[in-house]
Every structure is written in C-alpha cells, then in structure tokens.
C-alpha cells in the first residue's frame, strides 16, 4: 500500500496567496490556517449534506462541520428554505421580533436547565457575558477555569496555567493585561484536590467556576460524572456559580447538552455553534432570578446591535425543530458510537498506539498509549506529528478533518452509512500507512 497522491491545491493556494495580503495569516480565524498540517488551507466553495467542495473542485466527506454548528449536515433544505423566505422581510431591525420569542420558546420549553435566556452573536460573547453576570450576581471578582478548556477570546479567559497547583494564570495572548490574569485561577481538569485548595485559599472570593460541558477544544477530555458532581457541590458550598460552557456540547450531546448528560444543574449555561444553525448566534441562560441581574432589568450591562438577528433566529428555529424530532439524537449518537467502536476494533487488532475518545456525535483521535486521557497535560505534543501525516493522507483520500490534532471530529445527521463505510476504509488504510511503512 502506498500514500495517495496529493490533491491539487492550485486554486486554494492562489486564493490563500491573495488572502495573506488582506488578513493576518490569510484567515479570519486562526484555527482555519493549516499551520500544524500540510499545505495551504483549502478554500471552500460549497457544501451539501456530509460533503464539502473546495475551490479546486476536490470533494470531501466533512468531519469539521464548521466546527460543530452543522449538526444536520450542510445546506439543510428546511433551514435554507426558511432563511430564503425570511430574507424578503428584512435583514435586521434593531427592534424585537416574534422570531426571538419562537427560538427562545423552542429552547426553554425543551430544556429544564434554563428559565431565561439572552441571545448574543457568538460563543465568545456568551461566555464573556456569563462571567460578568456571575461577578455581578456574587459581587466577587475571581474566577476559576481549567487548563485545556477554551471559552472564546475574551480577556479574562485567555489565561493559561502558571506553575504550581493553585496559582493565578498567565495570559495566553499578548495584549491581555496581567490584571485580568490575576483574577483568573487556572486548574487542571479532573483534580478535586486542586479545587479544594483553591476554594480554601480564596475563600469568599471566587465568583464562578467555568468549565466546558465536556472539554472538546483541546482533545476530547471526558470528565467523570463523579468529578462533575463534586464541582457542583463545592461551588454551591462556597456560594460560587457553576458556569457550563456548552457552546460545543449544547444541542450536541442531546437537546439539553452536557447538563442532562451529567444530570447536573449549572447556574449559568452558555450556548453557541449549533444554536444558530450556521448563522452567528450565541446565548446564555440561567434561572429567572439570576437572569434578572441583566440589563435592562438589572445592573449587569450587556447589549448587541445584531443580537437576535431575524435571519440568524430563523436558521436557529429551523434547526431546533429538526433536533427535536423523535429519535434524532439516539440515531446520530448510535451511528457515531458504532463507527468509533469499529475503528477501535481495528486499532486493537493491529495493536496501534491510538485511542479514540467519543461522546455523543463527537470523537477525537489521540496518538497515545494512555487509555483514559482526561487532562491537557496528558496530551503529548510530539504525537501531533502523527496527526499531521494522518490529516494529509485523509485529505488526499477525500476526508476533511479539522486541521489540528487537538480538534475533535463532528458527525452530522447527514453522514450516511455509505459515507462511513468509505471513511472507515480510508482511516484504517491511513493508520496502516502510518505504522507499517515508515
């Protein structure tokens, strides 16, 4: 067996060479650059169902799915028809619309973990606002986050672990004032002792602990139910709020996301990605009591010119309706699990040092012998060389994975049995190439 020939990237490369004149790194979001994999980023022209096509006409089965939003597959006709119809009525009014009520009702009537919600335009905005709300509500300033969790690019959250078990973080981006990092403690995931110590050292000072519903931005770091419940208890005991950042897991693991998966009631939940069905929407929600602190009811200010945008709401509504159809999640999750089990079977037969973590319709390929990776520190950066090879081989075989080994794969409702049969064949052959032909 030999490697597949490299796909043509003539047009993508030409577009990229133009883009670098306009945008830093040629992209409008750094994860899109192919910095950690081979070649120029592919410029996508169109997508339908499980497939995307690039500017050179290459066709791929897509496991990036716009980083999660396209859970129904691309260009879902019920979503695009609804959007097309709405377009005639106007793009934005800066005044309330019935569409906002409709999307809120679909969400709140089917999600027992939130009573009131506020729509914003991105996941970053949702989490940034949730943090402000937690600080306004508790009248405390410090927050705890975890190494390996991503919560968007607001100042308070671009902080990584310093040295030591419980220390204030260091900024993970230039331009973030040290004063922000001084308010953010960064702990390891899956470590109860660190939490106990942090709450002891900063008694009465912690406004909130923020965690991804299931950390899925730096590998897929599955946390035990016991740990998550401990987190709920220790925050409640210390009158700190528990913020579940469900920008990925919300409407993904099931309609009620990770809160239902763990059977835990967070104080504030943030959403993004799927909620807008491919349009820019984020949201945060909580009990009516906590949400009453938000302006104009309360003193925590938060606003947005394009919040609740009618076109975006329409895409969200058409998406939610389909997610709420009987058996949607059972089918999607089972399909993903079966696919992953099959890959695992092959991996163990061949004894390859590869693990696949999976939950719901998310999975992550780790080049590691460690069976149960739950923390960022357990991911070996050297193993990303293997991902780089895998990524190139998969692209050449018509399978699009997110361009980094730290990223998870997203399955959609549109991935067919035939798609997965094809992908299985390519995955297993690519793994054989990695380990049998050096």
Of 282 and 402, nearer to ligand PLP (C-beta) is: 282
Distance CA 398, CA 416 (A): 15
Query: Shortest approach of ligand PLP to residue 432 CB, angstroms?
Result: 32
245 catalytic, yes or no? yes
Q: How is the chain split among helix, strand and coil, in percent rounded to 5?
A: 40, 15, 40
Query: Shortest approach of ligand PLP to residue 31 CB, angstroms?
Result: 9
Phi/psi of residue 150, nearest 5 degrees: -110, 135
Query: Shortest approach of ligand PLP to residue 292 CB, angstroms?
Result: 25
Q: Interior CA angle at 356 toward 353 and 362, to 5°? A: 160
Tokens coding 408: 């998870």
Distance CA 248, CA 104 (A): 18
Tokens coding 205: 């000072």
Distance CA 267, CA 116 (A): 12
406 catalytic, yes or no? no
Tokens coding 18: 């133009």
Closest alpha carbon to 341 in 356, 351, 327: 356
Query: Shortest approach of ligand PLP to residue 315 CB, angstroms?
Result: 14
Of 199 and 285, nearer to ligand PLP (C-beta) is: 285
Distance CA 373, CA 412 (A): 25
54 catalytic, yes or no? no
- Which residue of the set 142, 145, 273, 335 is catalytic? 273
Q: Using an 8 Å Cβ cutoff, are 49 and 418 in contact?
A: no
Of 247 and 423, nearer to ligand PLP (C-beta) is: 247
Distance CA 96, CA 108 (A): 18
Query: Shortest approach of ligand PLP to residue 51 CB, angstroms?
Result: 23
Of 148 and 413, nearer to ligand PLP (C-beta) is: 148
Contact footprint for ligand PLP (CB under 6 A): 122-124, 127, 150-152, 212, 217, 245, 247-248, 272, 282
Distance CA 322, CA 352 (A): 39
User: In the sheet that 116-120 helps form, which strands lie side by side, from edge to edge?
Assistant: 116-120, 282-286, 268-271, 241-245, 206-212, 142-146, 184-187
Of 157 and 195, nearer to ligand PLP (C-beta) is: 157
Of 244 and 387, nearer to ligand PLP (C-beta) is: 244
Q: Which residue has the tokens 């002891």?
A: 200
Q: Which residue has the tokens 């405390």?
A: 140
Question: If phi over 0 gives left and psi between -120 and 50 gives alpha, with beta otherwise, what is residue 91?
Answer: alpha
Query: Shortest approach of ligand PLP to residue 312 CB, angstroms?
Result: 12
Query: Shortest approach of ligand PLP to residue 188 CB, angstroms?
Result: 18
Closest alpha carbon to 208 in 295, 284, 138, 149: 138
- Which residue of the set 54, 155, 190, 245 is catalytic? 245
- Which residue of the set 137, 150, 261, 284 is catalytic? 150
Of 58 and 122, nearer to ligand PLP (C-beta) is: 122
- What's the DSSP call for residue 36? T
Of 282 and 316, nearer to ligand PLP (C-beta) is: 282
Query: Shortest approach of ligand PLP to residue 46 CB, angstroms?
Result: 22
100: Cα separation from own chain's centroid: 23
Tokens coding 30: 């750094």
User: Closest residue to ligand PLP, Cβ-based?
Assistant: 123
Residues catalogued as catalytic: 150, 245, 273
């Amino acid at each position: 067996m030999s490697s597949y020939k490299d796909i043509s990237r003539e047009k993508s490369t030409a577009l990229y060479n133009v883009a670098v004149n306009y945008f830093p790194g040629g992209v409008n979001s750094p994860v899109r650059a192919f910095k950690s994999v081979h070649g120029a980023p592919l410029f996508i022209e169109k997508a339908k169902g499980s497939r995307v096509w690039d500017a050179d006409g290459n066709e791929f089965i897509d496991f990036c799915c716009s980083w999660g939003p396209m859970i129904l597959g691309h260009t879902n006709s019920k979503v695009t028809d609804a959007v097309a119809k709405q377009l005639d009525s106007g793009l934005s009014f800066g005044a309330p619309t019935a569409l906002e009520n409709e999307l809120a009702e679909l969400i709140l009537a089917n999600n027992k973990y939130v009573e009131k919600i506020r729509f914003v335009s991105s996941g970053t905005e949702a989490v940034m606002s949730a943090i402000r709300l937690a600080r306004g509500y508790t009248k405390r300033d410090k927050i705890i986050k975890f190494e390996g969790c991503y919560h968007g690019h607001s100042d308070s959250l671009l902080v990584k672990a310093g040295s030591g078990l419980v220390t204030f973080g260091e900024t993970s981006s230039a331009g973030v004032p040290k004063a922000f990092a001084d308010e953010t403690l960064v702990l390891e995931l899956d470590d109860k002792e660190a939490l106990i110590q942090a709450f002891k050292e900063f008694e009465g000072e912690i406004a909130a602990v923020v965690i991804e519903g299931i950390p899925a931005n730096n590998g897929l770091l599955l946390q035990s139910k016991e740990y998550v419940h401990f987190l709920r208890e220790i925050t409640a005991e210390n009158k700190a709020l528990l913020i579940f950042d469900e920008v990925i897991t919300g409407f993904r693991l099931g309609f009620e996301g990770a809160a239902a998966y763990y059977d835990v009631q967070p104080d504030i939940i943030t959403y993004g990605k799927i909620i807008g069905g491919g349009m820019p929407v984020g949201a945060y929600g909580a009990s009516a009591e906590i949400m009453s602190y938000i302006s104009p009811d309360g003193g925590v200010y938060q606003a947005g010119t394009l919040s609740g945008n009618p076109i975006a709401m329409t895409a969200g509504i058409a998406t939610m309706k389909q997610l709420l159809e009987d058996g949607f999640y059972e089918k999607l999750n089972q399909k993903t699990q079966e696919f992953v089990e099959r890959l695992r079977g092959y991996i163990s037969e061949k004894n390859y040092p590869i693990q696949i973590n999976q939950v719901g319709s998310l999975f992550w390929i780790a080049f590691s012998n460690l069976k149960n990776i739950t923390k960022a520190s357990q991911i070996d950066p050297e193993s990303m060389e293997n991902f780089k090879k895998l990524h190139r081989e998969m692209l050449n075989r018509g399978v699009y994975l997110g361009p980094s080994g730290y990223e998870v794969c997203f399955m959609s409702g549109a991935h067919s049995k035939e798609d997965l049969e094809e992908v299985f064949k390519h995955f297993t052959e690519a793994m054989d190439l990695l380990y049998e032909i050096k």
